[in-house]
Amino acid sequence: MAGLNSIMDNSLSALFAAQAGLATTGHNIANANTPGYSRQEALFVPRKASVMPYGSIGRGVEIQGIRRIQDEFLLNNIRVQKSRLESYTQTDTTLYEIEAILGSIDNDHLGNALTEFFSSWNSMSQPPITDSMRAAVVSSANSLITDFHAVNDSLDDLAGQIEVSIQAELADLNRMLSEVGNMNAQIMAAESNGEPANDLRDQRDYLITEISEIAEISVLEREDGSKDVILAGRTMVARDSVTNFTSTYRTKNGGDGFEMVVVTEDTMQDVVLSPGRLQGLLTSRDVQIANVREDLDGVARKLIEEVNALHTQGRTASSSGLVFFTGDSMHTIELNAAIAADSSLVATGTTLAAGDNGLALEIANLANVSSSGTGDQTVSDVYRTLLIEVASERSSYEFLVENQQNVVSALETRMASVSGVSLDEEGANMVRYQNSYNAAAKIISTVQEMYDALLRMV
C-alpha cells in the first residue's frame, strides 16, 4: 500500500503542476495585448527523492514559483532611447508648425508681401506718378504689416500652446511619480511572504517607462522589491515616499545650452530635466520659436531702418523728412499714421520737381541691394535665409526622429522576443500541459484500479 500511496502522491503532484502550468499559460494568453505585460513561466523542480535500500525513488514534482521573464538592462536602454525620441519628436513637431506659419520657400505670405511692397515702389519708375500709385504703396505696406503681425500672433499662439503642454506634462509627471510610490507600497506588502508580485511589477515598470518619455530617468531596485526613480541626480521616488514638482519652472542658459529647471515641492530645490518631452517642449519654445522670432524681428527692423533712411530724405508738396514706418520689430511695426491717413505724403523724390521718382526707385531697389552696402543681404535675402534655415533644421530633426524611431523599434522587437507573449508558443505549452495532466490522471486511474484489486483480495 505504501508503494501505491507514493505513486498516487507523485501523480497528484503532476496534476497540480500541470494545472499551474496551464493557468500560467492562460494568464499569458489573456494578457497578450496588455501594454507592459511580461510573459510568465511556471518553474518546476523534482521533489526530494526517497532513498530506498535499492536506490532512490522520485517523489514527483514541486512548483517552485512563477517567474516573470524580463530583461532589466534592455528595458532601461529602451527608456533612455524613448526619452531622446520624444525630445526630437517634440522639436520636430514645433518646427513643422513654424514652417506652416511661415510657409515654404516657394509659397510664403510674408515673402510675397515683401515682394509686392517693393514692386509697388517700382511701379512709379515711369512718370507720370499718380495718386493711385501712392495709394498702392500704402495698401501694400498695410498688407505687409498685417502679415508681420499675423506671423507674430501665430508664434505667440504656438508658444502659448507649448506652455499649456508643459503644464500638462508636469501634472502627468507628478501623477505617475505618485502612482509609482503607491505601486512600491503594494509590491512590498504583496511580496512580504517572499513571492514576487509579477503583475504589479509589470504595471510599475510600464509607469516608469511612461515617465521616461517625459524626462529621462534612472531606476534603482531595493532588496525589498521597491524601485527608486532618480531624475537628474535627484531621487523623486524612494519606496512609497514621493517628491513632486511645482508648476513653476524657468530656463537658464548654461555652458551646455538651454536647460529647463523645475522646482520640487518639498525643498524648492532645482532639478534640471534630461531629454524627454518636457525638454523638447522647452527647446521648442525657448530656442526654436525664440530664434525665429528674433530673426523675423531682424527682418522687420532692417526693413524699417532702410526704408526710413531713404524716405526721410523725401519731399512732397505738404511734407518733408517723414519716416515711412514706425516701430522696431515685427510686433511693433506700423505705417506712419500721417501717411496712412493721406497717401499723398508718400515721397517719391528728394525735390518737388515734377516726375522726380529717384527716391521711389532707390526704395524699390532695396529688394536687390541693401542700403548698408553691396556686401550685405537685402531684406528679402535675410528673410529667405531664415526660411532656408528653418527648412534645413526641420530636415535635420526629421532625420533624427526617423533614426531614433528605428533604434527604439529594434530594441522593442528584442524586448518582445524576450518578454512578449507568443500565442503559438503558448498554444504549444497548452497542449503540453494538457497531455501531462491527462497522463497523470491516467496513472491515478490505474492506481485506483490496483487499490480495488487489493481490496477484493482481502
254, three cell numbers: 548654461
Helix (H) or strand (E) holding 393: helix 379-419
The mean per-residue pLDDT over the stretch 201-228 comes to 95
Residue 43 reports pLDDT greater than 80: yes
Which residue in 415, 421, 423, 418 sits closest to 209, CA to CA? 415
With a CB cutoff of 8 Å and minimum separation 6, the contacts of 415 are 71, 74, 75, 78
pLDDT the model gives residue 372: 60
Of 137-151, 167-181, 245-259, 267-281, the poorest mean pLDDT is in 245-259
List the chain domain ranges. 2-69+423-457, 71-419
Please give the DSSP secondary-structure letter assigned to residue 49: P
> What letter does residue 192 receive in the DSSP assignment?
G
Mean pLDDT of 216-229: 94
Mean pLDDT of 377-396: 90
Say yes or no to pLDDT of 35 above 50. yes
Q: What is the mean pLDDT of the chain?
A: 90
User: Residue range 40-52: average pLDDT?
Assistant: 90
- How do beta strands 315-316 and 61-68 pair? unpaired
At 242, give phi and psi (nearest 5°). -125, 135
346 pLDDT band, cuts 50/70/90, is very high
Does residue 282 register a pLDDT over 80? yes
Residue type, 392: S
pLDDT at 1: 47
The answer to whether 222 touches 87, Cβ cutoff 8 Å, is no
Task: Check pLDDT > 90 for residue 103.
Answer: no
Indicate the angle between helix axes 290-311 and 379-419, nearest 10 degrees. 170
Tell me, what amino acid is at 332? T
Q: State yes or no: cis peptide before 196, omega within 30 of 0.
A: no
In this prediction, residue 209 carries a pLDDT of 97
**How confident is the model at residue 374, as a pLDDT?**
41
pTM: 0.86
Give the pLDDT of residue 368: 85
Give the H or E element holding residue 245: strand 245-254
Which residues are 66's β-sheet partners? 42
Give the mean pLDDT of 207-226: 95
- Better-predicted residue by pLDDT, 207 or 55: 207
Enter the DSSP assignment of 107.
S
